[in-house]
Structure 1
Amino acid sequence: MSIVVQKYGGTSVATVEKIKYVARRLIERKKEGTDVVVVVSAMGKTTDKLINMAKEISNNPCRRELDMLLSTGEQVSISLLSMALKEYGYDSVSLTGSQAGIKTRGYHLKARIADIKIENIKKHLKEGKIVVVAGFQGVNEAGDITTLGRGGSDTTAVALAAKLNCPCEIYTDVDGVYSVDPRVYSKARKLKNISYEEMLEMASLGAGIMETRAMEIGKKYNVPIYIAKSEGNIEGTYIKELSEEMEEKVITGLTVSDDDLMVTINNIPYNIQNISGIFEELAKKDINIDMISQTAAVDGFVNVSFTAPKLEKDIITKIIEKIKKRLKGIEVKMETDITKISVIGLGMRNQSGVAARIFKIFADHNIEFKQVTTSEIRISYTINTKDKQKAILVIANEFNL
């Protein structure tokens, strides 16, 4: 019998009625003769509520205990969904990340899946059960519960599909992947297909549809992924391997993120050890650095800029203070009112001139950019947030997004 892994996000299981609706959907799939493993997130805004409760106790709660707290949200969802399935007459079992064999490594709140021991899941499937797995969590080598960070349920689902060698279906509150987030550009087109590479770039650049690590796993193990709305039968988007028609359009999508800040460090004595030391300090605290730029040396000094998540502002500030003690005379500027805007498309591999067109657009509309970075299929800019909507509109019009 074939297997499918389905994942339902927090909005899809936000109420008991929605949980019952998901249960009926799972039963319909089971009736088609498919074994079903379902991954669910915590109900609605449960995770946010738990974080707020923790912050009422401590401004800096212990990460181990925070993982212990946050993991309870998914456990509520899986138990209720399993109860609903049983009530409808279908055998089911709920499994925490540990019970599902999800082994993790790394920091609390940011753990990564190291392996999944799927024997327990296979045993329950063989017994004819619908297996309900808690997303977002696992257990580390010390036996502690760990969580996978925001969007971690996507990662759980795709990783399970990779281990079970089956498709993965992600059901959420949106009906597919769009060329631009429809909330910021109402004329955006829904994409029928998108390549792993393009979706991975979009995920890493702020598109909230899929989590980056989930896409990395999907691409590595060639997991067929389908994204669609959890309610109704509107066709969604397929994430798949590259095909010829995908390369015909120069730009597939545009992403926008207000989640980063930009740090500029001026007057650094030019020495590779000084530059290395800055990023080593950031790496020690697991700060995810994205865009990096450095000026040419002038009179023995350079300036370095980088972007990082705004959520890490307090940690970055402490790191900068430590660096200042070592590198006397540096000047540091931290900007939070910035937006990262990126264009993504496999067509850029074969068609030149995209950067020139965007520079021209920015010049014609007086949009200042602070940084630019590129990859084979992506160009990213940091701009002032006040220019965000104007930039989205003119780029989307230029590339027919």
Structure 2
Amino acid sequence: MTNYWRDMSLIVQKYGGSSVATPEKIKKIAEKIKKNVEEEEKVCVVVSAMGKTTDELIALAKRISDSPKPRELDMLLSTGEQVTAALLSIALNDIGVPSVSFNAFQLEMVTTSDFNNARIIDINAERLLDEFQTNDVIVVAGFQGITDLKDITTLGRGGSDTSAVAIAAKLNTKCEIYSDVAGVFACDPKIIPSAKKHEYITYDELMELASMGAKVVHSRAVEIAKKFKVELYCASTFSDERGTFVVDSLPEWLEQPVVTGVTMDKNQRKFTISPLPGGQEAQVQLFIALASKKINLDMISTVKDNGQVYLTFTVVEGASERVREVVEEVLSQYGEYRLIEDDEVVKITAVGVGMESAPGVAARFFAALNKEGVKLLGTSTSEIKISTLVPKYDAEKAVRAVAREFSLA
């Protein structure tokens, strides 16, 4: 590998599924990328699968098997991004932009062997940089990787964001995330059309918003960006409207809001063990077993009544079957219990670095919900967030109440 690339202007761009949903949109993106090339920039483009392709492939697998093997599912799902990468490279070459496409195997994007939810270990940056000697654009299939044994893996939902930021970190350059949303909003514009858009937001705030249901960028991607100081910018694919810059801290001239945003996460299921046999010992063993299956618990609460212990927690919807299996495996040795499930719940979260120094935020949050008659089913907090579980029918009303209280729209 030569050293010419050290003086090269290089950028990483990522385009989401809605942006590449049709051949016509892919052609428009090619024209957009061509403008970067005309400004003497080399562009590494990371793409998602077209439109709802990933969902359609999952549905196709489920027509064959109710429980497809994770390895085989990754083999199937990884094809979606490869189609997009090839089509975009074809479009670029067709308009005179030298381009080549890569899948994870060709790029040597090495991951852990956790099928369906792998984590990136390393990327062969030299292969990318060498290809830039003869190409202006390299299109990479996002969302996928390979293990040391050359098995194909996928990075979980939002994995193309993670691919893009990881490549940017490896190349020590900035990353632009393009989608059908014109930046990071204080709340979902589909629920509140007048939602404020942030010109700047901190890594910590965006990480919390993303992990709590905001869909602009995946939380793992933000985590990598913060760790490796990747300049991150989120904007609309087909609009010149200014997007949102993600930063370590807000500019000194910009006032820090107490609450930066409110999110709604529908991908929740509440479990109640009524009663919990075996007391504290059983609870500890249950949590250890759930952790060993990589199941993250949230909204944990225990209530003691008449000598009985009642345990409640929430998990993301996709973990439900594994939770049932672990609960049965652990608690059957302690005695009788009843497992109650509720998927008609939504997690509402308010996020803001300003919470650390502003008293009374929780009081305002819960008072706003109470005023609207929203039923509260559980609560969890951290230094910069407050989350509460509400019935699904109250979810949008809760978002509007919090947005109104903290002037987010």
TM-score band by shorter chain is over 0.9
Note if 1:344 corresponds to 2:360: no
Q: Among residues 178, 181, 193, which one is paired with 1:186 in the alignment? A: 193
Change (3 A) 1:247 1:121: same
Q: Tell me how far apart the structure 2 counterparts of residues 187 and 117 of structure 1 sit (CA, whole Å).
A: 44
Mapped contact 1:289–1:307 kept (Cα < 8 A): yes
The aligned residue for residue 95 of structure 1 is 102
Q: CA deviation at 1:400?
A: 0.5
The CA deviation at 1:190 is 1.0
- Cross-structure match for 2:62: 55
1:146 match: 153
Q: Per-residue CA shift, 1:98-128, capped at 9, x if unaligned?
A: 2112110042111111111211001111334
Aligned 1:1-400 pairs, distance under 5 A: 1-243=8-250, 244=252, 248-269=256-277, 271-295=279-303, 301-400=308-407
TM-score (ref. length: structure 2): 0.94
Please say if residues 111 and 153 of structure 2, whose CA atoms lie closer than 8 Å, have aligned partners that are also in contact.
yes
Q: Which amino acid aligns with 1:165?
A: N
Report the AA paired with residue 348 of structure 1: M
Q: Deviations over 1:175-219 (max 9, x none)?
A: 111100111222211111110000000000011111111011011
Of the structure 1 ranges 282-291 and 69-78, higher mean CA displacement relative to structure 2 is found in 282-291
Native 8 Å contact 2:277 2:335 kept in 1: no
Identity within the alignment, %: 43
Work out whether residues 290 and 308 of structure 1, in 8 Å CA contact, stay in contact via their aligned partners in 2: yes
Secondary structure at the counterpart of residue 107 of structure 1: coil
Alpha-carbon deviation of 1:301? Answer: 4.4
Q: 1:94 & 1:69 partners in 2: Cα distance?
A: 19
Amino acid at match of 1:258: K
Give the letter aligned to residue 248 of structure 1. Q
| Distance in 1 of aligned mates of 2:360 and 2:324 | 39
CA contact (8 A) 1:246 1:346 kept: no
- TM-score when scaled to structure 1? 0.95
In the alignment, the residues of structure 2 paired with residue 335 and residue 49 of structure 1 have an alpha-carbon distance, to the nearest angstrom, of 26
How big is the shift at 1:247? 6.0
Q: Which amino acid aligns with 2:338?
A: E
Cα offset for 1:271?
Answer: 4.9
1:379 deviates by 0.4
**What CA distance in whole angstroms lies between the structure 1 residues aligned with 2:370 and 2:168?**
46
Deviations 1:32-54 (A, max 9, x none): 11111000111111111211111
Q: CA deviation at 1:95?
A: 0.6
CA-CA distance at 1:332 after TM superposition: 2.3
Distance 2:370 2:207 in 1: 29
Following superposition, the deviation at residue 304 of structure 1 comes to 2.2
1:333-369 per-residue CA deviation (whole Å, 9 max, x = no partner) reads 2111111001001110110101111222233332221
Code of the residue aligned with 2:207 in structure 1: it is: L
Deviation for aligned residue 1:269: 4.9
Shift of 1:284: 3.0
TM-align CA RMSD: 1.7
Work out whether residues 37 and 136 of structure 2, in 8 Å CA contact, stay in contact via their aligned partners in 1.
Answer: no
Deviations 1:264-296 (A, max 9, x none): 22333565432221122222332232322233x
> For this pair of structures, how many residues does the alignment match?
400
Structure 2 stretches lacking a partner, 5+ long: 1-7
